[in-house]
Amino acid sequence: MSKNNNEIKLIESVLELYISAGKSGRGDDMRCVFSKDANISGYVGDDLFAGPIELLFSWTDENGPAEDLEHEIGHIDVEGTIATARIESNHWHGHQFTDLFTLLKIDGEWKITSKVFHVHS
């Protein structure tokens, strides 16, 4: 297995933790996969939802468990200590999302540094 394949598996495990936290509905369960300076951006209808990642943790807490959440991890691209990843998710409180993530390997661990999202109509 190549080094990139090993890194992809590590990134997939980070993304699976993110999804598990969505299913649990607990923002604190999500905290470990994001860097402390991470941010989020996207539109909910016509309203911009953007700022520090704490906004996502609060939204997750407010909306509770998304037990029916389904997801598919799309393309993951790794170059050294940086990566991008895509997740398609459905049934996240009645919504379908496309999420694009940037990740950085910090102290030997992959952390999400940015999440941008699209809510499908």
> What does the block give as tokens for 55?
């906004």
pLDDT of residue 46: 95
What's the CATH number of domain 3-120, 2.60.40.10, 3.65.10.10, 3.40.50.1980, 3.10.450.50?
Answer: 3.10.450.50
CB atoms within 10 A of CB 108: 7
Where b means 16+ CB within 10 Å and e means fewer, 64-85 reads eebeebebebeebebeeeebeb
Cβ(111)–Cβ(102) below 8 Å: no
* Domain boundaries of the chain, sorted by first residue: 3-120
The pTM of this model reads 0.94
pLDDT of residue 4: 86
pLDDT by residue (tens digit) across 2-36?
Answer: 678 999 999 999 999 999 999 999 999 999 999 99
Kindly report the average pLDDT of the chain as a whole number.
96
